[in-house]
């Protein structure tokens, strides 16, 4: 008998790792695992059981065309509650919306840090105490399987995630004809760094097993909130407050160890979103003097816009979209030639992050030197 054509995710390589294919699989044979570069990748746990229904492929935003709506309205927003504002990454708008929807009976699927597994993961927040764990951005890829599995498609639910996660989720709820039950929020997304960077960083903190971690701490203000605060078995530590002094941020923001699709196949920069609401940090000139935190909020339809109007403990100011986009990336970063070497070094337990940064600096200087030398030689050649 001729082998059946594979109509599942087996042949999809370097995808977003959103895990939505696992949610839709009727046989429940798709899981996510870390690939050798430290990013989640889907795999079939039992090939013999696959019925080749193709549902996993149909929900996948990586291989399917996406439909993006035009922005409806764009705002600056921030919480009037000082504690929420301090603990959030920008203006606390994600939390405010989630909190409001929770009081209206919505389930909330957001992201928390799991210190036992040392990873970010999607989860369902059943009450306000659990919701507080979602506060603040975790700048690592989230493991979605358990959180998405617990979403009841028949219930009203808010889902927050990266634009690629949310795009696949949009495909899923269209396919299942349950779009009306959902509100989806994504954010402007710089990209996700390899889990090996985070793992090495945590080891170098020398705190033993972590109890908690906060990526964007506003103790020194919002504009200098590139401060990681972590608590472990051996105490608490806060990294230096300048982003160029924190090793995690230095490597993450150098764009040298992001997931491959963040360079090659991300289709979500600027306003391109499959969500009802997109949020972000209101960088740029307008709020450069504000040091408590301001969020950008873009709504794409009435559903997204109406929920904002219901927020009582939040300041909302409408701004033209160009002003909101001032500080946001316009293109995907270029895939650097050094990426594989850096990821290899991140996996090597004997190489500290500061060595990787030092080597990068030296090779950059050497590169500039060679370029200047070639330019100089060419000039001499032209003169003679
Ligand atoms: C990897 C990553 C890259 C980002 N890049 C940019 C950028 O380039 N420009 C920009 O303006 N903003 C970016 N953001 C968004 C920004 O950090 C804030 O989340 C945004 O300003 C909203 O702030 P807030 O105060 O409303 O968030 P909060 O109220 O503090 O809520 C944060 C929300 O983000 C969710 N979340 C946290 N970590 C993750 C994760 N790893 N994956 C999925 N969801 C998560 C939480 O569930 C929560 O709902 C990024 C966020 C992440 C996680
Ligand atoms: S649905 Fe997500 S995890 Fe599954 S193949 Fe597509 S991008 Fe990868
Ligand atoms: S940069 Fe794009 S591909 Fe990468 S995690 Fe963000 S949305 Fe997904």
Among 86, 89, 136, 192, residue to substitute to test ligand 1 (most atoms within 8 Å of Cβ)? 89
CB atoms within 10 A of CB 67: 10
pLDDT at residue 78 tops 90: yes
Q: Is pLDDT of 154 > 60? A: yes
Q: Which residues of 169-208 are buried (b: 16+ CB within 10 A; e: fewer)?
A: bbbbbeeeeeeebbbbbbbbbbbbbbbbbbbbbbeebebe
Q: What are phi and psi of 166, to 5 degrees?
A: -70, -35
For residues 89 and 83, what is the distance between their CA atoms, to the nearest angstrom? 12
Q: What is the mean pLDDT of residues 53-64?
A: 98
pLDDT at 4 over 60: no
Tell me the pLDDT band of 220, cut-offs 50, 70 and 90: confident
Q: What is the pLDDT of residue 1?
A: 44
Q: Output the pLDDT for position 146.
A: 98
Query: Ligand 2: which atom is nearest the Cα of residue 59?
Result: 1
* pTM of the predicted model as reported, rounded to 2 decimal places: 0.95
40 C-alpha to ligand 3 centroid (Å): 12
In 3D, which of 209, 15, 181 has the Cα closest to residue 109? 181
pLDDT tens, 176-205?
999 999 999 999 999 999 999 999 999 999
Query: Alpha-carbon distance 23 to 188, whole Å?
Result: 24
Sign, CA torsion 297/298/304/306? positive
For the chain, domains (ranges, CATH) are 9-58 (3.30.70), 73-325 (no CATH)
Nearest CA to ligand 1 atom 17: 137
- Burial class of 209 by CB neighbour count within 10 A (0 to 12, 13 to 18, 19+): exposed
Position of tokens 């150098």? 254
Which mutation among 122, 262, 334 tests ligand 3's pocket best, with the greatest number of atoms within 8 A of CB?
Answer: 262
Judged by average pLDDT, the poorest of 79-83, 262-266, 376-380 is 376-380
Token reading at 197: 């960077």
The pair of structure tokens assigned to 160 is: 């927050």
Q: Is the pLDDT of residue 232 over 60?
A: yes
Average pLDDT over the chain, rounded to an integer: 94
Please determine, for residue 349, whether its predicted confidence score (pLDDT) is greater than 60: yes
CB of 190 sitting under 6 A from ligand 1: yes
First-to-final CA distance of the chain: 74
Q: Is the CB of 12 under 6 A from ligand 2?
A: yes
Q: How far is the CA of 22 from the centre of ligand 2 (A)?
A: 8
Helix orientation angle between 353-383 and 195-205, rounded to the nearest 10 degrees: 120
Average pLDDT over residues 222-246: 84
């Amino acid at each position: 008998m001729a082998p059946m054509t594979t109509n599942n995710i087996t042949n999809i390589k370097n995808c977003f790792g959103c895990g939505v294919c696992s949610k839709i699989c009727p046989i429940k044979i798709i899981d996510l695992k870390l690939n050798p570069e430290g990013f989640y990748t889907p795999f079939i746990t039992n090939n013999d059981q696959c019925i080749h229904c193709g549902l996993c492929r149909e929900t996948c935003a990586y291989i399917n065309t996406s439909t993006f709506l035009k922005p409806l309205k764009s705002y600056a927003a921030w919480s009037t509650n000082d504690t929420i504002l301090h603990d959030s990454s920008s203006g606390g708008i994600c939390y405010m919306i989630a909190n409001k929807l929770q009081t209206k009976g919505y389930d909330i699927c957001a992201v928390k840090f799991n210190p036992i597994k040392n990873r970010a993961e999607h989860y369902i927040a059943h009450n306000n105490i659990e919701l507080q764990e979602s506060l603040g951005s975790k700048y690592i890829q989230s493991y979605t399987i358990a959180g998405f599995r617990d979403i009841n498609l028949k219930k009203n639910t808010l889902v927050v995630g990266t634009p690629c996660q949310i795009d696949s989720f949009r495909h899923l709820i269209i396919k299942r004809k349950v779009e009306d039950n959902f509100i989806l929020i994504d954010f402007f997304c710089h990209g996700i760094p390899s889990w090996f960077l985070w793992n090495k960083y945590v080891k170098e903190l020398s705190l033993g097993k972590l109890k908690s971690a906060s990526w964007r701490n506003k103790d020194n203000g919002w504009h200098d909130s590139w401060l990681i605060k972590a608590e472990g078995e051996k105490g608490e530590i806060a990294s230096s407050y300048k982003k160029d002094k924190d090793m995690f941020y230095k490597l993450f923001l150098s764009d040298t160890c992001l997931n491959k699709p963040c360079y090659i196949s991300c289709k979500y920069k600027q306003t391109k979103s499959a969500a009802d609401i997109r949020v972000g940090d209101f960088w740029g000139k307008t709020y450069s003097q504000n040091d408590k935190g301001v969020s950008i909020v873009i709504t794409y339809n009435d559903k997204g816009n109406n929920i904002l109007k219901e927020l009582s403990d939040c300041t909302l100011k409408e701004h033209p979209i160009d002003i909101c986009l001032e500080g946001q990336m316009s293109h995907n970063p270029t895939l650097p030639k050094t990426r594989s070497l850096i990821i290899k070094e991140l996996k090597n337990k004997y190489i500290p992050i500061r060595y990787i940064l030092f080597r990068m600096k030296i090779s950059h200087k050497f590169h500039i030197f060679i370029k200047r030398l070639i330019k100089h030689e060419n000039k001499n050649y032209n003169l003679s």
